[in-house]
């Protein structure tokens, strides 16, 4: 989705902004622009297409040291140069970049047009630029507040003004915005990825909060203009984590990160002596944990599938009824919030609008909600009552890989903790801990089979349509496998419960329709094998994701993963599916890190 960067300091602003925008490319966008405040006034450059096209269009001498930049993902009006940001006031004095949606933009446009304002774009953002320019308030801060008092909707915005050339004013309401604190320089960004090359000292703005940044530092304040006196915090993020290193794509890098990132995630969180997990961030003691009679997990897309994996871990290990629901549905159905249910929001970005809204809905009705979130300090992390950080490191590729395995691993630890305050024995707890500790080494083994998986993927890439099947623990794995495959290869991939094949979808099976079967070595192996015969009997090609020793026929294409505890097997079974999707997309020559029509974090409805 859209990205914001801003800079004020002693360096030339343009290269800093361009570099920041390039770091935000992964979020998905269709146009980009910058505005630079220099001696002669503001210069605005906008371009449809890539940040590198914008960069190529810039004049050589662009010396201004204050500026704002934006990558736009079209919402109001098509992707054109006129609709790209920054948007400016009629006289060019005010420039604005904006993420989010202004709900009353149409009414405001009409009112402004009636007063003689001519609009040059279809955007809701242009309305803000005109409102600020027309405000009679004396300072830029007061003019921004004046404008914002007239708009309803969500925004993160950054504003520059030729009359106040030493500053950027930023505001946040429902869309993330972060300040980066440097040495006599300040940065603004909608995403940490744009800041990390420059600073790890950051300030997260809250909803309803504004900030002024100058070379002298920053001031945060409320809508009532009262200082909110935020202190910077240090973020634990490494520039190497956002660089491609030797990998061709971020998706590939992030798949190969997993052995190390999972090891990091587990560090200090497993208590071998008592066979339990230490999750201090939950802010829930044993008595409170014992009190929950149900667990409800809320997330979207792959996070929802991770939630389904988590629900079955919780049911198996803690014997508490648990289920997952898409947050995007939950928020609209006036959900019944029960006092003895533990609600869990799961999100990589921590900014997905549907999930963030579901968190608010639970809290508004007095429910207890914790977050399993990757991005530290994100909206969902801050709005939840407690939580477990995923520590996956930055996930840049649009298609989620390592975040999903971290979510599933986080759920395994939560299930272990909930189990151990109930009836799970110490020895069973220790069995799960040993399983968790084996994950990094086992993931290494799986990714070392890349060449074989790539060959299998090559065979699947030609199919127009595929089934991914699994049952019980394996079903969310199949759903995630289909999701990954369709996202990056644009092939139709549908997940089904293996048990449901014969109730309808079998009609589609023929020699052109491959089936990828999740077939672990567990209590359902024989049933799954029998179902697979229904496919092969109809000449359907198959690929089996399984454990060693399950399939003894070498003619059946298979990818084996090391066996772990049955409850944890889903974590490992997802890994070859990530590589399968990656290599199918690679064989098809597609834009793997930025699949068409998709954005990294969906911060609008
Ligand atoms: C799938 C994918 C999306 C996200 C979903 C939730 O590969 O990336 O389905 O999983 O949009 O995003 P987060 O986890 O940021 O809330």
Residue 602 tokens read as 């969906």
CA 470 to centroid of ligand 1, rounded, Å = 21
CB proximity list for 583: less than 8 A, separation 6 or greater: 450, 453, 454, 457, 458, 461
| 398 Cα nearest atom in ligand 1 | 8
pLDDT at 103: 85
- Cβ(405)–Cβ(411) below 8 Å: no
Which backbone phi and psi does 217 adopt, to 5 degrees?
A: 140, -145
Say how far apart CA 418 and CA 453 lie, in whole Å.
36
- Cβ(59)–Cβ(77) below 8 Å: no
DSSP 336: P
CA 406 to centroid of ligand 1, rounded, Å = 13
The burial class, CB within 10 Å (0-12 / 13-18 / 19+), for 224 is exposed
pLDDT at 504: 86
Say how far apart CA 332 and CA 2 lie, in whole Å.
25
Give the residue whose CA is nearest to atom 16 of ligand 1.
347
Give the residue whose CA is nearest to atom 9 of ligand 1.
301
Say how far apart CA 571 and CA 404 lie, in whole Å.
9
| Tens digit of each residue's pLDDT (9 = 90 or more) over 477-531 | 999 999 999 999 999 999 999 999 889 888 889 999 999 999 999 999 999 999 9
Residue 401 tokens read as 């890989």
Residues near ligand 1 (Cβ within 6 A):
300-303, 347-349, 352, 355, 399-400, 483, 487, 601-602
CA 300 to centroid of ligand 1, rounded, Å = 6
Give the residue whose CA is nearest to atom 10 of ligand 1.
302
Give the residue whose CA is nearest to atom 5 of ligand 1.
301
- Cβ(208)–Cβ(223) below 8 Å: yes
| 601 Cα nearest atom in ligand 1 | 15
Q: In which residue are the tokens 């998706």 written? A: 251
Residue 499, CA distances (Å) to 311, 484, 550 in order: 20, 22, 18
Neighbour tally for 497: CB within 10 Å: 17
CA 463 to centroid of ligand 1, rounded, Å = 25
CA 301 to centroid of ligand 1, rounded, Å = 5
Give the residue whose CA is nearest to atom 11 of ligand 1.
301
CA 573 to centroid of ligand 1, rounded, Å = 19
Say how far apart CA 493 and CA 484 lie, in whole Å.
9
Neighbour tally for 223: CB within 10 Å: 13
Residues marked active site are found at: 2, 600
| Tens digit of each residue's pLDDT (9 = 90 or more) over 35-45 | 999 988 999 99
Low-confidence spans in the chain with pLDDT less than 70: 1, 237-240, 603-605
Answer positive or negative: Cα dihedral of 299, 302, 304, 307: negative
């Amino acid at each position: 989705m859209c990205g914001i960067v801003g800079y004020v300091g002693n360096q030339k602003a343009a290269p800093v902004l361009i570099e920041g925008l390039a770091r935000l490319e992964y979020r998905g966008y269709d146009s980009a622009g910058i505005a630079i405040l220099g001696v002669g006034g503001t210069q605005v450059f906008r371009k449809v297409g890539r940040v590198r096209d914008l960069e190529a269009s810039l004049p050589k001498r662009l010396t201004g040291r204050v500026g704002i930049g934006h990558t736009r993902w079209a919402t109001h009006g098509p992707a054109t140069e006129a609709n790209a940001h920054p948007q400016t006031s009629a006289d060019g004095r005010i420039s604005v970049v904006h993420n989010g949606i202004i709900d009353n933009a149409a009414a405001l446009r009409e009112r402004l047009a009636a007063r003689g304002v001519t609009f040059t774009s279809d955007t809701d953002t242009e309305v803000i630029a005109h409102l600020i320019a027309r405000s009679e308030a004396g300072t830029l801060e007061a003019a921004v507040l004046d404008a914002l008092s007239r708009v309803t909707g969500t925004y993160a915005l950054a504003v520059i003004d030729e009359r106040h050339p030493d500053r950027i004013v930023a505001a946040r309401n429902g869309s993330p915005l972060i300040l980066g604190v440097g040495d006599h320089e300040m940065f603004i960004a909608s995403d940490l990825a744009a800041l990390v090359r420059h600073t790890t000292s950051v300030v997260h703005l809250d909803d309803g909060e504004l900030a002024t940044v100058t070379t002298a530092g920053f001031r945060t304040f409320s809508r009532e203009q009262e200082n909110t006196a935020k202190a910077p915090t240090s973020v634990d993020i490494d520039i190497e984590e956002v660089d491609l290193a030797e990998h061709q794509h971020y998706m590939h890098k992030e798949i190969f990160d997993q052995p190390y990132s999972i090891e990091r995630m587990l560090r200090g969180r497993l208590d071998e002596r008592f066979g339990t997990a230490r999750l201090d961030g939950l802010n829930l003691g044993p008595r409170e944990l014992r009190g929950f009679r149900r667990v409800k997990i809320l997330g979207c897309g792959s996070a929802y599938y991770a939630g389904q994996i988590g629900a079955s871990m919780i049911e198996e290990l803690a014997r508490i009824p648990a289920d997952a629901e898409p947050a995007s549905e939950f928020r609209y159905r006036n959900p019944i919030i029960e006092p003895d249910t533990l609600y869990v929001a799961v999100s990589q970005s921590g900014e997905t609008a549907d999930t963030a809204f579901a968190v608010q809905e639970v809290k508004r009705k007095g429910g207890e909600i914790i977050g399993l979130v990757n991005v530290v300090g994100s909206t969902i992390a801050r709005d939840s009552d407690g939580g477990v950080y995923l520590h996956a490191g930055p996930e840049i590729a649009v298609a989620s890989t390592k975040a999903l395995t971290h979510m599933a691993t986080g759920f395994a630890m939560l299930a272990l903790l909930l189990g151990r305050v109930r009836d799970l024995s110490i020895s069973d707890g220790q069995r799960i801990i040993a399983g968790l500790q084996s994950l990094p080494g086992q993931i290494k083994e799986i990714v070392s089979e890349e060449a074989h998986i790539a060959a299998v993927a090559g065979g699947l890439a030609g199919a127009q349509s595929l089934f991914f099947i699994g049952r019980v623990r394996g079903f969310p794995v199949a759903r995630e496998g289909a999701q990954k495959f369709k996202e990056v290869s644009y092939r139709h991939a549908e997940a089904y419960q293996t048990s449901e094949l014969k109730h309808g979808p079998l009609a589609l099976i023929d020699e052109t329709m491959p089936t990828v079967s999740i077939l672990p070595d567990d209590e359902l192996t024989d049933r799954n094998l029998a179902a697979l015969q229904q496919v092969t009997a109809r000449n359907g090609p198959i690929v089996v994701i399984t454990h060693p020793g399950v399939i003894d026929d070498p003619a059946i294409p298979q990818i084996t993963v090391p066996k772990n505890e049955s409850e944890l097997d889903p974590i490992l079974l997802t890994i070859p599916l990530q590589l399968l999707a990656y290599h199918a997309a690679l064989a098809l020559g597609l834009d793997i890190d930025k699949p068409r029509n998709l954005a990294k974090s969906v911060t609008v409805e």
